[in-house]
Every structure is written in C-alpha cells, then in structure tokens.
A and B are shown apart, each in its own frame.
Chain A
C-alpha cells in the first residue's frame, strides 16, 4: 500500500519520455514502448538506470525484458520497493 504512495508515476512517465525522446503525453499507461515508441533494449537499460537512481531501488537485470509499458514498469518498481 505504501509503495504506491512512494512511487511518483508522473516521474516515471517523464523518465520514459526523456529517454525515448517523445512527448510526455505519448507515454500512456498501456502504450507499448517497443511497438509504438520505437524503444530498444539499450533504451530500456537507460530507463532502468535512471529509475534506479531516482527512486534508490535496485531492479534485477532480468526484469529489463518486462519494461514494455509504463504500467509494467510501475509494477516492477513497486515490487522491488516493497
């Protein structure tokens, strides 16, 4: 319950938009980052590294393949912050 309060979803959205070089509005909860916004695995790594630094959380390397949407990323970060 507390985790949801700690994670600033807009901050995560802004990080994704900055790495992918798209407008924040383009990153919706279910937007497919790979199919719709042309993300690649290195961009996913940059998103992961920025989130880790911003939220002081350690995300396992194998989760990078699950960095597919804003929603998915939030769920992973919430899980790791618990």
Chain B
C-alpha cells in the first residue's frame, strides 16, 4: 500500500516535470497579469485620490495609464487562456503516446490481464480527464504563493500598516486551512469515495437494468436506490458543513483585511490627507481582492487535482509485463520455409502467469514437420491458450526454446516472426471500416486478383450478395452486424491473403452451430494445404480433416501424442 503511494507520487512528479516548461510559461504570464494589475490599481487609486483631494480635474496621464493597463490585462488574460488550452492538449497527447508505446511493448498478453474496454478507456477518457490538471491546477499551484506575497509586499512598500494587516490575513489562510482543512479533508475523501461508489452503483444498475426489469423487480430496486441516495446526501451534507468552513475562511480573511484596513486608516486621514497618502490607502484597499485572487483560482482548480490521482492509480494498476523487444543489433535470422509448410520444434518449454500459481506449461515438447496438422485438446485451463500465445510470440517461455524453421523464435525480429504465422481465434475482431479494409489489412499490398481468390476460398462470395454494399459494406461498431460464421470467414480470408506457412487456430468453430461449422471446415481444409497447422479444438468434426497429430494437454503437460 505504502509502496503504491510512493510510486504514484513519483509518477505524478514525473508528469509535473515533463510539463514544467509549459507550467512555468503560464505562471510567468500569470505573474505579468498580477503586476499589470498593480499598475492598474495604482493608476485607479491615483485618479481617485486626486479627485477626492481637489475636486478638480484629474491628470490625463493616470487615465491613459489606466486604460493601457486595462487593455494589457485583457491581452494577458487571453494569452493565459490560449496557453492553457494548448498546454492541456500537449500534455494529453504526450501521455497518450507514452501509454501507447507501453501497450505495444508489452503486446497482446496485456489482454490476458485487463479487459480491453478498461485499457481503451485508459487511453481515452482517463487521459481526457487530465486536461484541467495540466491547464489549470499546475499553473495555479506554481503561481499562487509568489503572486499573493508579491501583492502583500507591494502594498507594504506603499503603506506599512495596510501591508501588515493584509500580510497577517494572508498568513491566516494556511492556518485556517490547517485547522478546518485537515479535519475535513479526511472526512471528505471518505465521502468522495462513498459518492463515487454510489455513482458506480447507479451506472452498474443502469447497465444491468434489463436483467432487473425482466425479472420483475424494477420497482423494489428503484426504492433501494433512492434510499441509498438519500442516506448519502445526509452524510455528505454533514461533511460539507465542515468543508464549507474552509471556503468561508477565505471569505473571512479577505473581508477582515478589507474592513480592518478601511477602519485602521481613518486615523491617518483624519482632517483630510495628502494626495500620496490617500493614494496609498486606496491602493491598499483595492489590492485586497487581487491578493486573494490567486488562492481562489487554486481552490477553483482543486477538483482537477483529484483526477491525476485517479488516472495515476489506473495506470499503476497496469501489469508490468516483460517488454517484447529484440536487440536491433542481433543477427537477422530467416526461418526456413518449404512448399509443404514450415518445421516447428518445441523443446522443453515452461511458463507461469503468476508467481505463486502452478505452472501453466510444464516442460512441454513436441515436433511438427512441415505440413503436419496437430489437434490440441484438453479441458479448459489445461494450458492450451498459453501454448498458443507463446507460439504467437505474445509471451516468452521461462525455460526452453521454440524453433520455427530452424530459427529460435525469441531471436527473431517481430516482423520476421509474424511473417511466418497466421492466426484464427474464436471470434475475429472486426474493425470499424469496410469489408474490403477488414480483409485487406492482412496484406495491404495484395492485388485485386488475390483478394478475389481469398474471397472465393473463404466462401465469403456466398454471402457477399446479401450485404447492402458488397465489399464496401461498413462493418464494426455501428456498422452492419455479421453472424458468427460470416465473421469467421473474414478471419479465414485474412489467413489466405497473408499466406503464412504456420497456421494457428484457437477453437475456430466454438461459437458456431453444427451446420455452419461444416461449411467453415470445407474452407479450412482448403486453407490447410501447404501449411503446418496447430488447431486447438473441442469439436470432434476436426478428426475428419485429414491425417493429424493429436496432442492432448492437461495441467500444463502434454499427456499423449499420437497420429490419427
């Protein structure tokens, strides 16, 4: 727990320093704005003092200065806003690219540890939520102390007594914060947690609302939800009663400073003061809001700060997997491919997903000659998927070697390795895009003729006419919905187009009905010609596919190996 917090803190520090130059630029512009504010208030005070003293005309130069300072302030405010927008955007882009690099370095094994939707939301929503942190909180927190105390110092320089009062009230601020703040911070953090939990619960209920409604329990559940919300409101208000004292303390400090300075200065002005005297008093009074403005900006951005902890925690939760990179300098190996397929030799491999769990693969060895077809069977949890992910290069064996066409899989450059392997899983991912794009992405350079061949071999042609726009039909999120069999044919077409010598299949017909399975098998048989294949399956239909090697795996070990 403590180590986690430490890691989180150092991660946040890292983010802050990566953003330092932008933060400093914004703080600098903010400081200029504060200084301009001083000039502005000074000119205003001078105008008013002359007016009060003489009742006659006012020197034009003060008025000009006032207008100029006003315009400068508008420009600086505009610049601040633009800077905040661009800095927030830059920081989000940087973080997103860092995460992307990490995702790809760890590879598809990540999907074993976390749901893809959670990973995707990390890439999108979690990062988007950080805009305020970089755009508002960081500059405000860098600026506020310096800005506040430079105002106090300038006021002190002009008017010692007023400066003392203002400084005292400003000093009071942290004291107030400490007294009310710490007490409420603990309680409100707990409250925030409770509120968060209620929101999560509401979201969860809404997501599962069909299940509740169709079980006829909707009204009862609604009442429970309402009760929980009401309880939370009562507890929240209890905390807020204290928490608002903290914000009230800012009001108190400011108003006390204002009233005190006005009342205190009456002695020095008794029977009419000189112009410089009046100016200094007016200046001090008018500067009071300016002294508290930076602190207010900080308080306003306070909730943005919570976001960095949320996102940071989510990122910390990512598993730390070994990165799958091969040294660039390593000699380039080229696996040996023949017309019949490729030779696959698995030697004594072992693997463990989690330290204290049993081995997922325990000293597994087998050998497939070019053109061999192996059926991998075994109960779920036996290690079939682990073996497949290892052959696909998503994970690396703890011990042992895999030789593909005579080359060690681990020493191959990723591109050289994937060139040799095709894969068909249980359900292919259909990307947002047209049918053509979804097939062609397996081999972007393929010709129209090759595409036609793949369409025929995979029997996509059989349903092509049914699609609204043929090959240009939009698929994926919000697009045309394909049936399981139709989607699996896309995976087969991809494999045809890619034309790799080793074909790995992970229960390719698990989600299909028997009739569709039969149809798919016809296409698969065509695909298997001239390739080495390893097929994990429960279905007995695959026994008819031709001469196969049977690998039965149980508890991470290959139990039998026979030729059928």
Q: Does chain A bind chain B?
A: no
**B residues lining the A interface (CB < 8 Å):** none
| A residues apposed to B, CB below 8 Å | none
